[in-house]
A = this chain, B = another copy of it.
Amino acid sequence: MALIVQKYGGTSVADTDRIKSVAERVIRTKEAGNEVVVVVSAMAGETNRLSGLAAELCESPREREMDVILSTGEQVTSGLLCIALEAMGQRARSFTGSQVGIVTDSSHSRARIQKIDDRSVRDALGRGEVVVVAGFQGADGEGNITTLGRGGSDTSAVAVAAALEADVCEIYTDVDGVFTTDPGVVPSARKLDRVSYDEMLEMSSLGAKVLQTRSVLFAKRYNVPLRVRSSFNDNEGTLVTREEDIMEALVVSGVTYNRDEAKITVVGVPDQPGVAAKLLVPITDCNVIVDMIVQNIGSDGHTDLTFTVPKGDFRKALACAEETARGLGARKVISDDRIAKVSIVGMGMKNHAGVASRMFDLLSREGINIQMISTSEIKVSCVIDDKYTELAVRALHEGFELGKEPARAETF
Contacts and interface: CB of A to CB of B under 8 A. Distances in A.
Interface in A52-71: 53-54, 56-58, 61-62, 64-66, 68-69
A46 to B, nearest CB: 10
A146 interface: no
A76 interface: yes
A75 B72 contact: yes
Interface in A136-156: 143-145
A72 B54 CA distance: 15
Interface residues on A, range: 35 or more
A61 B86 contact: yes
Contacts of A50: 76
Given A62-B86, A86-B65, A79 B54 contact: yes
This chain: copies in complex: 2
Contacts of A58: 83-84, 86-87
Given A62-B82, A65-B82, A143-B99, A76 B53 contact: yes
Contact of A69 (B69, B76, B98): B76
Given A62-B86, A86-B62, A99-B143, A54 B69 contact: no
Contacts of A351: none
A94 interface: yes
Given A61-B86, A87-B57, A79 B94 contact: no
B68 A94 contact: yes
A62 B145 CA distance: 25
Nearest to A16: B56
Interface string A29-59: 0000000000000000000001001101110
A363 interface: no
Given A65-B86, A68-B94, A72-B72, A80 B57 contact: yes
A20 interface: yes
A91 to B, nearest CB: 9
Q: Which of A56, A68, A69 has the most CB of B within 10 A?
A: A68
12 contacts: A16-B56, A16-B57, A20-B57, A54-B79, A58-B84, A62-B86, A64-B93, A68-B76, A68-B78, A68-B96, A69-B79, A99-B144
Given A57-B87, A98-B98, 16 more contacts: A16-B53, A16-B56, A20-B57, A53-B80, A54-B83, A57-B83, A62-B83, A62-B86, A64-B93, A65-B83, A65-B92, A68-B75, A68-B76, A68-B78, A69-B75, A96-B145
Interface of A: 16, 19-20, 50, 53-54, 56-58, 61-62, 64-66, 68-69, 72, 75-76, 78-80, 82-84, 86-87, 92-94, 96, 98-99, 143-145
